[in-house]
Amino acid sequence: MIDTIGGQLQGLFNPLPLVAGHARNGRLRLLGVASLQRSEFAPELPTIAESGVPGYEAVVWSGLFAPAGAPRAVIDKWNAEITRMQNLPNARETFNGAGLTRLGGTREEFAAYFARETQRWAEIIRAAGIPIEQ
């Protein structure tokens, strides 16, 4: 971020809350968000897809994983509790203030999302010729 503010880099990707202050004081110009939907943190900011790169999406996401043999009842309980916590009255404000979007769903929906993301990024890595280091 310092190198972008100082003119050594032409741009960067960073979470909105980390760059918002620099944008407010004129040191950075926000161009777009990398998600497919506009951010609730800065709804006036277009998506990169809206700005001319159709289908562009590069987001950081988190998921909760368990060992392969974890009992379904345990996973269902975790899912129910996480969903309950995400729906607490102040959760939306907390997530939005951190520049995050709350997602949820079933175990199967997450497994499908994980599979799609794994396949998509594997294709991007192969197309870019990025070597895998072990």
* pLDDT tier, 132 (very low <50, low <70, confident <90, very high otherwise): confident
The answer to whether the beta carbons of residues 38 and 45 sit under 8 Å apart is: yes
pLDDT (0 to 100) of residue 130: 95
* pLDDT tier, 134 (very low <50, low <70, confident <90, very high otherwise): confident
Is residue 53 over pLDDT 80?
A: yes
Size of the chain, expressed as the number of residues it contains? 134
Share of the chain above pLDDT 90, in %: 63
Fold classification of 1-60 (topology level):
D-Maltodextrin-Binding Protein; domain 2 (3.40.190)
Domain segments of the chain as ranges: 1-60, 61-134
pLDDT (0 to 100) of residue 3: 95
HSE-up of 63 (CA within 13 Å, CB side)?
A: 17
pTM: 0.74
Q: What is the DSSP string of 87-98?
A: TSTTHHHHHHHT
How buried is 20 (Cβ within 10 angstroms: 0-12 exposed, 13-18 middle, 19+ buried)? middle
Rg of the chain, C-alpha, whole Å: 18
* pLDDT tier, 52 (very low <50, low <70, confident <90, very high otherwise): very high
Who contacts 129 (Cβ-Cβ below 8 Å, separation ≥6)?
none
CA distance 79 to 109: 12
Six-digit token string for 46: 């277009």
